[in-house]
Amino acid sequence: MSSPSTQPNRTTARRELPLSLPLAAGAHPDAGTREAPFSYECGRCNRCCRDRIIQVNPYEVLRLARAVGLATGEFIDSFIDLDRMALRCSSDGTCVFLGDSGCTVHADRPLVCRLYPLGRIVRGDHERWVVLPESDGSEGTFGLERSVYDYVDAQGALPYMRAADACHAVLEEALLAEDAAQGDATGDEARWLLDVDSLVEQQGDIDREFSAYLEALKTTLVT
């Protein structure tokens, strides 16, 4: 395990862990429920990989770190903007993982990338789907041939959604266990929350390691 960083207070941790919605200007019209008609055909233009703040949670950091052969702490140091808990961008606003032929970590891309052009907002037991503003010059094609669920499932997003929900559940339980001080997350607090390897040993299996991380996180924050 890597050296632990400053632990966040419970309120800070819950607020800072991102929902499945990339930050971008513009309105977010409702797409409806998972059963709502929706389809989208990607045009491979890579314009959605620019000028977006792609926030990440611990599961996504773990997946991406293993994809590039790093411990989570090393990955955070190299690729994460801790002030935003997001992937870093180059000076022209391009995602750090965009290469000449597209996304260089496509198989392990974050949830918000998988869901684009949809966003998922969860409040308690209620899930709301919204359509995000298109990137300028996007070559993607919208339609109504399938459903929101069909699109999400085809993008391999369901395991990522379950992981995001599991993180939120632990942090919600922490908030119920004890009132916490208010305040924005510091870089050290954000790093602690994202650095899976600082809480559990590497186990050679991402799902098993993430489950162990959730238990360790719950023990640390709730008890």
Residue 76 lies in a domain: yes
Per-residue pLDDT of the chain (223 residues; tens, 9 = 90+): 554 455 554 444 444 444 454 444 444 457 789 999 999 999 999 999 999 999 999 999 999 999 999 999 999 999 999 999 999 999 999 999 999 999 999 999 999 999 999 999 888 788 999 998 888 889 999 999 999 999 999 999 999 999 999 998 888 877 665 554 444 455 678 889 999 999 999 988 999 999 999 999 989 887 6
Residue 2 lies in a domain: no
Residue 4 lies in a domain: no
Closest CA to 98 of 44, 137, 143: 44
Residue 211 lies in a domain: yes
pTM: 0.83
Q: Which domain holds residue 134?
A: 10-222
Count the domains in the chain. 1
Residue 3 lies in a domain: no
Is the distance from CB of 52 to CB of 166 less than 8 angstroms? no
Residue 50 lies in a domain: yes
